[in-house]
Structure formats: structure tokens, C-alpha cells
Amino acid sequence: MNFFSYKDGVLSAEEVALDHLAEKVGTPFYCYSSATLERHYKVFTQALPKDSLVAFSVKANGNLGVLKTLAKLGAGADVVSGGELKKARAAGITADKIVFSGVGKTADEMRLALEEGIYQFNVESEPELDALNALALAMSKRASITLRINPDIDAKTHAKITTGTSETKFGIPFIHAREAYAEAAKLKGIEIVGVDVHIGSQITDLEPFEAAFRRVGELVATLRGDGHAISRLDLGGGLGVPYIEDNRPPPDPAAYGAMVTRVTKDLNCRLIFEPGRLIAANAGVLVTRVIYVKRGDAKTFLIVDAGMNDLIRPALYDSHHEIVPLREPQPGAERIKYDVVGPVCETSDLFAAARPLPELKSGDLVAIQSAGAYGAVMASSYNARPPAPEVLVRGTEWAIVRPRLTHEQLIAQDHIPDWLAG
């Protein structure tokens, strides 16, 4: 459920009409609904075993307004860089609710995390373990760690967002888990606290989750038998969301929570979860204006002012996003098949191909839905296009939570060297 709906014939975010925002902010722009973020967080959290830590995946949406909204509900943060760690702290998320994932943590990032006193590092390789140990000893600290174990489970999702098979860069192979934990136990700057697993993103079937969690649960018993104190189990994120309106919806959080409870009830571990897309995707839309309608011999192109620099998911993952007009169409209105494209000078700047939509004309506004996760965070200034600004709505209130750069501000980020000046 989300809080975007037609009110008096205009698509609104909660009680704010999106065409009003378009007039005030300009297009394109992202709009997030506080009520949707809050509802999704609560529904997910309430489905889990008590005392679970829900650490929102900052890489899905790192806007401070979004993070602060979730922090006020008690959310932690899953971060994959020093910048994300600083963002989480700036949003008021306490260090004891932050977990640090990612395969390429630098020495500076690990040092920052040790200084902050984060909850745990999810270590992804033996070289990272050695580097973290050396830093912790130099700082007279001990780093609480889990090792991310790759269970070699196919999540049955897109190849570019699968992380749990043996062919990915993530985690330590399952067959080397005991050996890796034995080595970790020898390191004086390391405190083993648990096991981490994350098999991928946008997973729409509970079966891969259950297979992975059962396998890791067996590993917990084995590791305890080897003498390791395993008190935490980080189960990652990855539960999918409905991007396509008419498709069979993914399992709801209640079904996921029931499965997790059943599989982990005898492990006596604190559970950690890292949802991102599940919380944020359907809490955001990208509003864009039609520039031209271009009719070719075989296709009709709807050229809009948002581009792949604003929302790269369709170009990168061939992902589907529903597209709806801001003005509510009449029941039974004729539909025309459009290729919805942006102005970026790339053929891949395509939001939808042969998409049936009510007839649209230059100046009309449309909303690209389910854009709250992996949208603005992946934006760029390609083609010297300032990325779309971000707006957060709460009831009848709204605020710009990330402004649009002017062209002058964008250009000012570059510097001409002295030898070219004058």
C-alpha cells in the first residue's frame, strides 16, 4: 500500500497535489511520501521476532529527510561507505544501530567506523579481516564482526542484483566458512559476534530465502561446536516489491516474518535485517513533463524531461516502472502505445517501450512510480543535466529535501588548471 492516489482528478502524494509541486519545484522531481515510508517500516518490523534490528539499507535511498523519518521510528542503518555512515549519523541514527557492509571498505572508512563505535562490521573477505584487525589494534579497539557467508543459493532474480551464488564478488564461499572463522578467532583486534548472509535483491519467492537461512542456521550450530560465540544472525534484505501492477505480488512481510521465525526459533540469535527497496521503492515517484510527442513510421515517442541520468534503473536493469498521468483519465479512455523516452543522448534512455497510456500531449505531467529506491541515489549529471530534486511530503506539508542545482552550480564544481587559465 502507498499513499499516492487521485484526489479531485489529480494524482496526489498524501494531501498534496503533484501538479502543485510541479508548479512550485519544476520538473522533473522526486516526491516521497512520509506516510508510506512509515507504514512500510512498521509493517515489516511488526512481522519480525522481537528484539530484531531493522537496519535500513542507505544505498536504496540516502536522503536525510527519508533517513530521519525512519530514524524517528527506531530504524538502524546498513551502510556500504564512509559517506553513508556519516549520512546515517547526521540523520540521528545512533552508532549502535549501524552495520557496515560492502566488499571494498577502505582503511579510512574502517577507521571512521571504529571511531564511531558501530554495532558490527559485515566482513566480506579474509584480506578485509586482516586489514580491520590491524587498524583495530593500532587504535586499541576490538571490532565486532560477522563474516558474510555466501550460501551459493540462486535467488532467482535479475543477474545484476543476485549476490548469493558462487560466481559473485560478495561474501566468503560456504565451503571456506569454518576456516575463515578459525582464522578470525586468532586475531586480537577482532571479536566474532555472528554470521551474515545476503543473497540478492528484488526476490519475489520465499523459497530461496528459506534455503539460505536454513543452511546458515546449520552453520551457526557448527561454528558454536567449533567454539565460536555466535549471538547474532544478519539475514540481509532483498524482499521484493510489486513494480508491475497486474503481476502476482511478492510475499508480504507477514509471510516473510513467519518463515524467518520458524527457521530461526531455535538458534538463540539476535536477528538483523537490512531492508531498503521494501521500505522506500513504492514510497516515491518521479514526476516528469512531456516535452514532445514524436510520431514515427512504426512508433510514437513520448519525450519527457526526466532522463536516465535521473532514473537509470530501466537502462541498467531493464526494470519496469508503471507510468501514470497526473490528470486522472476518464474510464474507458483510449490508450496509445508510446515509447517513453528521455532527452539524454543515448538510445538506452528509455523508460518504457510500447507502453499503453491514455493519449498525452506536450506539457502534460506523468508520474513514474515505484521510484523511491535506487532512483535519486543513482542519479548523475550526465549531459550536464542537474539531477532531479527531491521533495518529502507529510500530510498537507511538503519540503524540498534536496534542491536542484543550477547550471552555474554544476559548472562551478569543475576547476580549470592555472596553465589553461586566461
Which residues carry out catalysis? 345
Residue 303 makes CB contacts below 8 A (sequence gap 6+) with 290, 291, 292, 293, 294, 341, 342, 343
Residue 157 makes CB contacts below 8 A (sequence gap 6+) with 200, 201, 202, 203, 204, 238, 240
Beta strands (DSSP E) in 213-256 are: 232-234
Question: Helix axis angle, 64-71 relative to 34-46, nearest 10°?
Answer: 40
How distant, in Å, are the alpha carbons of 4, 71, 276, 282, 325 from that of 13?
A: 5, 21, 20, 12, 14
Closest C-alpha among 262, 206, 284, 269 to residue 239? 206
Query: Judging by DSSP bridges, how do beta strands 190-196 and 232-234 pair with one another?
Result: parallel
d(CA 415, CA 422): 13
Which alpha helices (H) appear in 104-205, and where do they start and end?
Answer: 107-116, 126-138, 177-185
Closest C-alpha among 97, 88, 108 to residue 144? 97
